[in-house]
Structure 1
Amino acid sequence: MADFIVEWTEVQMPPAVIDQECWTMYFDGSLMKKGAGAGLVFVSPLGVHMRYMVWLHFPSSNNVAEYEALVNGLCIAIELGIRHLDIRGDSQLVVNQVMKESSCHDSKMAAYCQEVRWLEDKFDGLELNHVPRRLNDAADALAKAASSRELVPTGVFASDQHKPSVRYEGSDWAKDGPSDLALRADPPTIPFDSEVMELEEDPAAEPYPLDDWITPYLDYLLHDTLPMDKMEARWLTRRAKSFVLVEGELYRRSHIGIL
């Protein structure tokens, strides 16, 4: 009887269940002389990779950039409808603070940590793990490219963020309570029913008059004409990647293909 059990136990046991719903997200933040940025890599259960860059246009530290990468990544995951997420990052400080293995002595870090914990409730299953930098090289490269203000690589979704994702002591904006995403000027709103990482530009930063903002896009898309100013030309070519002409009408295209 013992030999029979040993021989047939493995055959009779049900096969291991493979989680077809769990996504993996790698995040990283970077601070350079030109500014700060965040990089994100999503890996679907089928192995499809989605890469994101976020330009941070406000005073930031390296730790703030790391937290911004994590918060933006969670917002993207929520909008994509992801319910199970395995998060991996190489910032020991961020991982330890979120996992309550270390305390937040800085008001900024405490505000970001609270934001992450609030967003966690939007998922059915979420894990946050620390990984060595060598295992986070893809997100690290995107973060460095964003902070260095490099051109967007092919196949990478990019966006600008002009204000912090959280309220903290000394910040120049406020909201009624923690994680009130709907009151933000730049990040996506909840419910996330429109575009992934569609962060609105600060009107003051627009190099063109608001009443004539369409003309430069049409000139570029129809006639390949760029402004004489190099900074304006670079700004236009980067932003034009989000637009498409359909029967003479200008549409903005979301990262998931919706016009």
Structure 2
Amino acid sequence: MSFGGASNALGHGIGVVLVSPKGDHYPLTARLNFFCTNNIAEYEACIMGLRAAIERKIKILEVRGDSALVIFQIRGDWEVRDSKLVKYRDLVAELIKEFYEVTFNYFSREENQLADALATLASMFKANRETEIMPIQMSIYETPAHCFSIEEESDGRPWFHDILEYIKNQKYPEQANENDKRTLRRIAIGFVLNGVILYKIGKDQVLLRCVDAVDARKILEEVHEGICGTHASGFTMARQIMRLGYFWLTIETDCIGYARK
């Protein structure tokens, strides 16, 4: 269990994080609507965490906090000289009797960022009554949001189907009006057909192969997995190619890519 307290111009808040042996995190936070010092806020946070652990029938607990005063006073290393903290120290002594084994360890503020963040959040969130907030769920994203953002074709045709049909057969889509036809002719100027393969003409005259959603996803997966033998990492390549507006992939001497829809 880690705990932290925060007192600032906006108010006072406390935060606790219970961590299971499997690594599951259970955050707790509360706002203190009464005047208190930083040390009192730290004691309040520690007590809230101990009570939460008791409610969950935890019997072996390691308590960690970045308040040296609270940790060392609870351990008995330091004397409690502030009269306002005596009752807090006595309450903690009663609560720890509920555990088979409990230890208190001091660690740096840098290692207690989550509990401190919860305490700061509670101190800044003004509420006149108890407010219920849904639990915070934190996901981990390994790649930027734009990666793997590939739209599936709703009609089962690739995004470049109309362009391909016009260049290959001079055929317009059904129900296309004159404005649609004019737009399609203008777009088609930037593409070239080589056999059955359609290419987008890049700004540097490099031909970028147009692929459907299935092939595009496969290419992206190979880029980010680094199995293509490229000289740059997948992330570096993706960052560079997104600035150009196209995805490209260098495999030996071939340049393969797909144009954005």
When normalised by structure 1's length, the TM-score is: 0.50
Larger radius of gyration: 2
Ranked by relative contact order (alpha carbons within 8 Å, sequence separation 6 or more), the top structure is 1
When normalised by structure 2's length, the TM-score is: 0.49
